Amino acid sequence: MTVLEIRNLSVFFSRYYNWFRKRTEACLNGLELSVGAGQLVAVIGSSGSGKSLLAHAVMGILPRNAGWSGQMLYKGELLTPQLQQRLRGRELALVPQSVSYLNPLMQVGKQVRMSGGGVRSRTELRSMFRRYGLESQVERMYPFQLSGGMMRRVLVSTATLGGAELIIADEPTSGLHAELAQETVMRFRELADEGSAVLLITHDLESVLPYADAIAVLYGGTSIEVAPAHYFSGDGTMLRHPYSRALWTALPRNEFTPPKGKPLVRPARSAAGCPYREYCESASEACRSGQIPVRRVNEGWVRCIDAT
Amino acid sequence: MRLEAQQLGYRLAKDNWLFRNIDLTLEPGQITGLMGPSGAGKSTIARILAGFIQPAEGSAVLKKALQHENRERSSAIGGAVTDKQGWKRRRTDGSIVRKPGGNTVPYPVQLIFQHPEQAVNPKWKLQRIVEEGAKPDQELLSLLGIDPGWLDRYPRELSGGELQRCCLARALACKPSFLIADEMTSMLDAITQAQIWHAVLGIAQQQGMGLLVISHDQPLIRRLCDRVIYPWETANENKKVTVRG
Ligand code: SF4
CATH number at residue A185: 3.40.50.300
Question: Which chain B residues in 21-60 lie under 8 Å from chain A, judged by CB atoms?
Answer: 38-39
For residue B162, the domain's CATH number is 3.40.50.300
Per-residue model confidence (pLDDT) at position B50: 86
Residue B83 has pLDDT above 50, yes or no: no
Establish if B211 belongs to a structural domain.
Answer: yes
Among B162, B134, B122, residue whose Cα is nearest residue B146: B162
Establish if B193 belongs to a structural domain.
Answer: yes
Element (H, E) at A227: strand A222-228
Per-residue model confidence (pLDDT) at position A155: 79
Rounded to 10 deg, the angle between the A122-131 and A148-160 helix axes is 130
3-state DSSP assignment of residue A117: coil
Q: Lowest-confidence range among A78-82, A269-273, B91-95?
A: B91-95
The pLDDT confidence band at residue B84, using thresholds 50, 70 and 90, is very low
Q: Give Cα separations from B3 to A131, B61, B67, B109 (angstroms).
A: 46, 6, 17, 9
Are A24 and A13 in contact, with CB atoms under 8 Å apart? yes
Per-residue model confidence (pLDDT) at position B178: 94
Establish if B135 belongs to a structural domain.
Answer: yes
Residue B76 has pLDDT above 70, yes or no: no
CB pairs under 8 A between A and B: 86
Mean pLDDT of chain A: 86
Q: How many other CB atoms are found less than 10 A from the CB of residue B173?
A: 21
Strands in A75-155 per DSSP E = 77-78, 92-95
Per-residue model confidence (pLDDT) at position A181: 83
A52, with CB counted inside 10 A (0-12, 13-18, 19+), is middle
Are B174 and B203 in contact, with CB atoms under 8 Å apart? no
Per-residue model confidence (pLDDT) at position B245: 36
Rg (C-alpha) for chain B, rounded Å, is 18
Per the DSSP assignment, residues forming a β-bridge with B110 are: B179
Q: Is the CB of A224 under 6 A from ligand 1?
A: no
Q: How far apart are CA B211 and CA B27, in angstroms?
A: 9
Establish if B242 belongs to a structural domain.
Answer: no
Q: How many domains does chain A have?
A: 1
Residue B77 has pLDDT above 50, yes or no: yes
Backbone angles phi, psi at A119, to 5 degrees: -115, 130
Q: How many domains does chain B have?
A: 1
pLDDT per residue over A25-58, tens digit each? 788 988 999 999 999 999 999 877 788 899 999 9
Are A116 and A88 in contact, with CB atoms under 8 Å apart? yes
Length of chain A: 308
Mean predicted confidence (pLDDT) in A97-104: 70
The CA A308 to ligand 1 mean position distance, Å, reads 12
Q: Is the CB of A283 under 6 A from ligand 1?
A: yes
The pLDDT confidence band at residue B98, using thresholds 50, 70 and 90, is low
C-beta atoms of A203 and B188 within 8 A: yes
Establish if B245 belongs to a structural domain.
Answer: no
Mean predicted confidence (pLDDT) in A265-290: 85
Establish if A151 belongs to a structural domain.
Answer: no
Q: Is the CB of A302 under 6 A from ligand 1?
A: no
Establish if B141 belongs to a structural domain.
Answer: yes
- Number of helical H runs and strand E runs in chain A: 8, 12
Are A26 and A12 in contact, with CB atoms under 8 Å apart? yes
Q: How far apart are CA B214 and CA B50, in angstroms?
A: 13
Establish if A101 belongs to a structural domain.
Answer: no
Q: How far apart are CA A143 and CA B146, in angstroms?
A: 38
Per-residue model confidence (pLDDT) at position B85: 47
CA B194 to chain centre: 19
What residue type is assigned to position A90 of the chain? R
Mean predicted confidence (pLDDT) in A197-223: 94
Residue B159 has pLDDT above 50, yes or no: yes
Residue B164 has pLDDT above 90, yes or no: yes
Establish if A243 belongs to a structural domain.
Answer: yes
Strands in A49-208 per DSSP E = 66-74, 77-78, 92-95, 166-170, 197-202
Q: Give Cα separations from A223 to A128, A243, A271, A304 (angstroms).
A: 34, 11, 13, 11
Per the DSSP assignment, residues forming a β-bridge with A66 are: A13
Q: Is the CB of A289 under 6 A from ligand 1?
A: no
What sign has the CA pseudo-torsion A71, A73, A76, A78?
A: negative
The pLDDT confidence band at residue B82, using thresholds 50, 70 and 90, is very low
The pLDDT confidence band at residue B69, using thresholds 50, 70 and 90, is very low
Per the DSSP assignment, residues forming a β-bridge with A35 are: A4
Establish if A262 belongs to a structural domain.
Answer: yes
Q: Lowest-confidence range among A186-195, A233-242, B30-39, B232-241?
A: B232-241
Structural domain for B41, as ranges: 3-235
Q: Is the CB of A267 under 6 A from ligand 1?
A: no
Of B159, B186, B220, the CB nearest to A48: B159
Establish if B175 belongs to a structural domain.
Answer: yes
List all residues 6 or more positions away from B195 whose beta carbon is below 8 Å from its beta carbon.
A258, A263, A264, B145
Are B55 and B48 in contact, with CB atoms under 8 Å apart? yes
Q: Which of residues A73 and B83 earns the better pLDDT score?
A: A73
Residue A119 has pLDDT above 90, yes or no: no
Q: With DSSP H G I counted as helix, E B as strand and the rest as coil, what are the percentages for chain B, rounded to 5?
A: 35, 25, 35
Q: Which of residues A166 and B117 earns the better pLDDT score?
A: A166
Mean predicted confidence (pLDDT) in B61-78: 57
Per the DSSP assignment, residues forming a β-bridge with A22 are: A16
Are A60 and A82 in contact, with CB atoms under 8 Å apart? no
Is the CB of A66 inside 8 Å of chain B's CB atoms?
Answer: no
Structural domain for A252, as ranges: 36-58+164-302
Establish if A278 belongs to a structural domain.
Answer: yes
Which residues from B are below 8 Å from A220, CB to CB?
A: none
Share of chain A above pLDDT 90, in %: 44
Best probe of the A interface among B165, B187, B191, by most A CBs < 10 A, is B191
The pLDDT confidence band at residue B66, using thresholds 50, 70 and 90, is low
Best probe of the B interface among A44, A241, A254, A256, by most B CBs < 10 A, is A256
Per-residue model confidence (pLDDT) at position A42: 97
pLDDT per residue over B218-237, tens digit each? 899 999 999 999 988 877 77
List all residues 6 or more positions away from B31 whose beta carbon is below 8 Å from its beta carbon.
B201, B204, B210, B211, B213, B224, B225, B226, B227
Establish if B81 belongs to a structural domain.
Answer: yes
